[in-house]
Homo-oligomer: A and B are copies of this chain.
């Protein structure tokens, strides 16, 4: 049985959190041994309860049970769907069933279409407009469109009375923090890398909208005392911390001295060239973070992306396979272009045996991306003396490109 937490966030606002340690691949894509939580919120008012988002369908029964602990199901008046992705909306059909389809679902107009398409249900639905306010039992709810975080349907809700911003995916993270809140700094520090990973993996393709939406929220001049996302920690000690973190990730801000090194090595041969790269970078004081595809290990795609977003530079070692780029590194580059796509310098090492990759083939992998290629060093087999020199020159160019 997964861990379920029900707690009062503030006054009449409750959190219902379930810790999912069963999902191996979030979105069927990202390996998450760290797990993920789904947070739903319930606001109790004199005119009924307002439910904000729910849990994944696998936890629908547990969800209803948790909801019963804070509200009478007959009192649920509104269900706010901030974002229709099924990790939040999956329990909605069950919730509608147990509430006799009485509550009105509030959301972006697109949410109505998606609820119908995903679940074949047609609840009472009321589309909310950007910045629209409603009052329920004296509590003012203000809906804020935050498009492309990470679907076109995404909205947030601001509860003015409590200064709570309910943000669904925005400001969320992977991981199962042992606390519900950001009160413990040690928990926060442990959790931050999982936030970075979540943002890049899930929202990365639209990361410019992270910056835009944060600027939009800031421009509203609302007093945000608590940021309550649908994954991970609730931020009440220092909500600014997660907003700033998201802003940095959204703008791909580099951590000084961090270089991502990712490569394939089928039989340890390309690894020899990559060792020269790593030694060269470390000798210059850089911290290299290494991910590989070898006969013993396959890098976690989502972790590579997480280490790319705040790298100062990236080095990629591409094996040649069937006279083409090694498939998993090609996939990795594709994801880097789709999810990270930042103005970071990139050094390519290409190891080949009987067939060298053309420079065009390699360059095309990055076509129409913002990455800045600084050099492509092709090495036949293990690096010989002249190759070592060319690799070192490549590292030199990369370092100069960072420091420029």
Give A residues with C-beta under 8 Å from B.
22-29, 56-57, 84-87, 90, 110, 113-114, 116-120, 150-153, 205-206, 264-269, 293-298, 319, 321-322, 324, 326-328, 331, 334-335, 338, 353-354, 380-382, 384
Contact = CB atoms under 8 A, between A and B. Distances in A.
Nearest to A334: B327
A155 to B, nearest CB: 14
B117 A26 contact: no
Contact of A353 (B24, B26, B151, B353): B151
Contact of A27 (B298, B321, B331): B321
A110 B29 contact: no
A296 B22 contact: yes
Contact of A23 (B24, B116, B295, B331): B295
**How many chain copies?**
2
Contacts of A264: 28
A87 B267 CA distance: 8
B322 A205 contact: yes
22 contacts: A23-B296, A25-B295, A25-B296, A28-B264, A28-B265, A28-B293, A28-B294, A28-B298, A28-B328, A29-B327, A84-B353, A86-B267, A86-B268, A110-B354, A114-B381, A118-B269, A118-B353, A118-B382, A120-B382, A151-B353, A322-B338, A331-B331
B353 A29 contact: no
Contact of A266 (B28, B151, B328): B28
Given A266-B27, A327-B334, A384-B120, A114 B296 contact: no
